[in-house]
Amino acid sequence: MNYKVIIMYDKEYEGYVVDVPELNGCMSQGKTIDKALANVKDAIEGWLLVEKKHNRLEINTIKEMFVGEVAL
């Protein structure tokens, strides 16, 4: 299954943080985008395993997602 992710650069961490909006609380990070994406794949697998084990698998269905920017 494919999951949409949001990748953000974190200046403090000096790397990338990846959020999986469809899986509440599922996030990971890495110093490069490739490493962050590899890490989030592990996080997704772990998240699904734990949620299935505890019979509380709830996936938020996101049909469309728009990423944009707002300037003030």
The single-letter code of the amino acid at 23 is: L
Q: CA neighbours within 13 Å on the CB side: how many for 8?
A: 13
Helix %, strand %, coil % of the chain (to 5) = 30, 20, 50
Strand pairing partners for 18? 7, 28
Residue 71 has pLDDT above 70, yes or no: no
CATH number of this structure's domain 1-72, picked from the four choices 3.40.50.2300, 3.40.50.11540, 3.30.160.250, 3.90.79.10: 3.30.160.250
Rounded to whole angstroms, the Cα distance separating 40 from 15 reads 13
Strand, helix or coil for residue 33: helix
Asked whether the whole model's pTM tops 0.85, one would answer no
pLDDT digits (tens, 9 = 90+) for 7-64: 999 999 999 999 999 999 999 999 999 999 999 999 999 999 999 999 887 777 767 7
Structure tokens at 40: 């989030």
Residue 19's pLDDT is: 96
List the chain domain ranges. Answer: 1-72
